Amino acid sequence: MIITVFPGQGAQTPGFLEPWLAVPGVRERLERYSADSGVDLIAAGTEWDADRIRDTQVAQPLIVAASLLSYAALLDATAMTPPTTPDGVAGHSVGEIAALVAAGVLSDDDGMRLVGIRGRAMADAAAAAQTGMSAIIGGDRDAVLARLDELELTPANHNGAGQIVAAGTLDALEALAASPVAGTRVIPLQVAGAFHTRFMAPAVDALRDAAARIEASDPTLTLWSNSDGAPVAAGRPALHLLVAQVASPVRWDLAMESFAAHEVTGIIELAPAGTLTGLAKRALRGVPTVAVKTPDDLAAAAALLTGEGA
């Protein structure tokens, strides 16, 4: 079972879309996605600096657009008609929008319109309070969770492979950094707010209203949810879960456990890739992975997808 996964916010880097513009059809696709999302994605992905593309309302459409265009390029690279598709898909945080598109739940245009709304709504919610997020690497899981509870911080991302992301007020995050759990490293993340926590409740309302106007189809591939790592069989429930996850923890650890239970034999991460394959290498040892960072990586990904690289 070969699956494709789609990264979340923070995976973007300045200029990372530049090599993709040489792929036939990509510029036209990005122009369409820019109109859908309300962001100049070509400029954002080729010219804007790190601070500018860190802005939530820019970063989220930029990441999803990159994932979708690289996914389309991957299918084209299989050189088969119809193209070979993966057996399943999953996305981390905002990457779940790309996963729903890949699974046929949403059209790519609806996905890009939705991520534009999501990014703006989460940016507005983040501006309402002084909050942030920090990655906690290593340490005893129970001790980490107990410390977060003590500080009234939320374990917003359970990433597996010994990594939890804490979210909440800046004062509480500073207290965590000043007195971390034994055996851990606390790394402040360059994000605008406490995503996947109660602080994002206003964004849930905005996204729910937008989702209600979208036609959702049932997935044509196995689609794993961020909420509990389980596959979702119907399109409208998948869309409801996508809306709810804005203010709920991302359980990527459970998704990877589900990958193992379903005997996944290969993982391809779409652009801007690297984060999720890194987690998989530690949590799913022995499972081949390919990170599609540039078009040069498409051949290896296509070989894994078609079985030639097994």
Q: For position 221, which CATH number holds? A: 3.40.366.10
Tens-digit pLDDT profile for the chain (310 aa)?
Answer: 999 999 998 889 999 999 999 999 999 999 999 999 999 999 999 999 999 999 999 999 999 999 999 999 999 998 766 778 899 999 999 999 999 999 999 999 999 999 999 999 999 999 998 999 999 999 999 999 999 999 999 999 999 988 999 999 999 999 999 999 999 999 998 888 999 999 999 999 999 999 999 999 999 999 999 999 999 989 889 999 999 999 999 999 999 999 999 999 999 999 999 999 999 999 999 999 999 999 999 999 999 999 875 5
Q: With contact defined as beta carbons under 8 Å apart, do 288 and 14 qualify? A: no
Predicted structure pTM score? 0.93
Counted domains in the chain: 2
Q: Are residues 113 and 203 in the same domain?
A: yes
User: Is 196 noted as a catalytic residue in this protein?
Assistant: yes
Contact residues for 102 (Cβ-Cβ < 8 A; gap 6+)? 4, 6, 68, 71, 86, 89, 221
Q: Are residues 86 and 165 in the same domain?
A: no
CA distances from 68 to 104, 187, 269 (A): 12, 29, 11
Q: 70, 158, 196, 258: which is the annotated catalytic residue?
A: 196
Q: In the 8-state DSSP scheme, what is residue 271?
A: S
**Crossing angle (nearest 10°) for helices 252-261 and 275-283:** 60
Which domain range does residue 158 map to?
132-188
User: Is 240 noted as a catalytic residue in this protein?
Assistant: no
Q: Are residues 292 and 232 in the same domain?
A: yes
Q: 34, 67, 70, 93: which is the annotated catalytic residue?
A: 93
Compute how many other C-beta atoms are within 10 angstroms of the C-beta atom of residue 115: 28
Q: Are residues 249 and 290 in the same domain?
A: yes
Query: Which three-class secondary structure state does DSSP give residue 179?
Result: coil
Name the nearest CA neighbour of 86 among 67, 71, 105, 70.
Answer: 71
Q: Are residues 201 and 155 in the same domain?
A: no
